[in-house]
């Protein structure tokens, strides 16, 4: 196998890792935004509950004034009753008094409802405040987790970039260009392992001649898939070659 192909296989492996790491890194802003949205949403619940409570207190004030006004009016009519001269006028006044007292009673009922509802609104505010505390505590933990994951991913990225630089340095520049051109067109994957008798990436059948050539020891030629144009390689062959060159050479024994 061509020596440079071995480095291209390394380059491909690290590039796939880089794609995965960058993809993971790109998700962090969204994860953080979702986290903050959850906290903001919970805080908004407090605002809504407080607004409802304020509205309820305002209504209460209005109904208190209604009660006062109707009671005031009834009192005024009662005071006038000693001054009326005719039976007719007296009856009319009695009617007004009754009406004012009825209205005062109704206003008092409304006021009582409001006061009961007001307690409910206060409970809502307290519940919302408690919920925010929980959401914020959970968010703080999650933020730290996300931050730690982000730092780890950044570290992985730096490591993988260094590995890539090493692989790139071992290959002639024009071959790296060739590799990158193919990778750019094919979702970052410039190499295709031969599986069975087909291209491991696009699945097209590879001519036996090409397979034979690739399997031949000392082959110095690059072959491309005729359909997807990726550089073809044999994974077994590459592994065998790598372990053979890594292991100390020992004479083979016939048994």
Q: Which residue in 185, 167, 153 sits closest to 14, CA to CA?
A: 167
Closest CA to 104 of 73, 64, 70, 59: 70
Under the criterion CB under 5 A, does residue 57 sit at the interface with Zn ion?
no
Cα distance between residue 80 and residue 1, in whole Å: 118
199 near Zn ion (CB under 5 A): yes
Q: Cβ contacts of residue 233 below 8 Å, gap of 6+?
A: 1, 5, 8, 9, 191, 192, 193, 194, 214
Asked whether position 117 contacts Zn ion by CB under 5 A, the answer is no
Q: Rounded to the nearest whole angstrom, what is the least distance from the CB of residue 175 to Zn ion in the complex?
A: 19
Out of 228, 231, 233, 234, which residue is the one contacting Zn ion (CB under 5 A)? Answer: 228
Does residue 202 belong to the site contacting Zn ion (CB under 5 A)?
Answer: yes
- Residue 100 or 194 having the CB closest to Zn ion: 194
**Binding of Zn ion at residue 225 (CB under 5 A)?**
yes
**Least Å distance between CB 180 and Zn ion?**
18
Q: Which stretch binds Zn ion (CB under 5 A): 6-14, 151-159, 171-179, 219-227?
A: 219-227
For 226, residues 6+ apart whose C-beta sits below 8 A from its C-beta are 204, 207
Instruction: Please give the Cα distance from 97 to 94 (Å, whole number).
Output: 5
CA–CA gap between residue 80 and residue 88 (Å, rounded):
14
Q: How far is the CB of 243 from Zn ion (least distance, A)?
A: 27
Candidates 62-70, 150-158, 191-199, 245-253: pick the segment binding Zn ion (CB under 5 A).
191-199
Residues in contact with Zn ion by the rule CB under 5 A: 199, 201-202, 225, 227-228
């Amino acid at each position: 196998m061509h020596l440079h192909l071995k480095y291209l296989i390394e380059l491909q492996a690290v590039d796939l890792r880089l794609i995965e790491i960058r993809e993971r890194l790109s998700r962090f802003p969204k994860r953080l935004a979702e986290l903050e949205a959850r906290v903001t949403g919970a805080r908004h619940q407090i605002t809504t509950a407080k607004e409802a409570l304020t509205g309820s207190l305002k209504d209460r004030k209005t109904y208190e004034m209604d009660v006062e006004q109707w009671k005031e009016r009834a009192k005024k009519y009662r005071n006038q009753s000693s001054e009326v001269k005719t039976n007719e006028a007296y009856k009319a006044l009695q009617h007004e008094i009754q009406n004012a007292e009825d209205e005062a009673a109704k206003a008092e009922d409304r006021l009582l409802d409001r006061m009961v509802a007001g307690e409910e609104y206060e409970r809502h505010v307290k519940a919302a405040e408690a919920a925010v505390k929980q959401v914020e505590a959970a968010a703080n933990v999650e933020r730290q987790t996300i931050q730690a994951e982000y730092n780890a991913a950044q570290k992985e990225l730096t490591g993988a970039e260094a590995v890539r630089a090493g692989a790139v340095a071992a290959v002639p520049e024009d071959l790296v260009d060739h590799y990158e051109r193919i990778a750019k067109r094919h979702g970052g994957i410039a190499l295709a392992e031969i599986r069975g008798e087909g291209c491991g990436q696009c699945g097209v059948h590879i001519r036996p001649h090409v397979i034979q050539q690739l399997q031949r020891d000392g082959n110095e030629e690059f072959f491309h898939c005729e359909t997807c144009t990726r550089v073809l390689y044999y994974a077994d062959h590459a592994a065998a070659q790598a372990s053979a060159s890594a292991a100390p050479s020992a004479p083979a024994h016939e048994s």
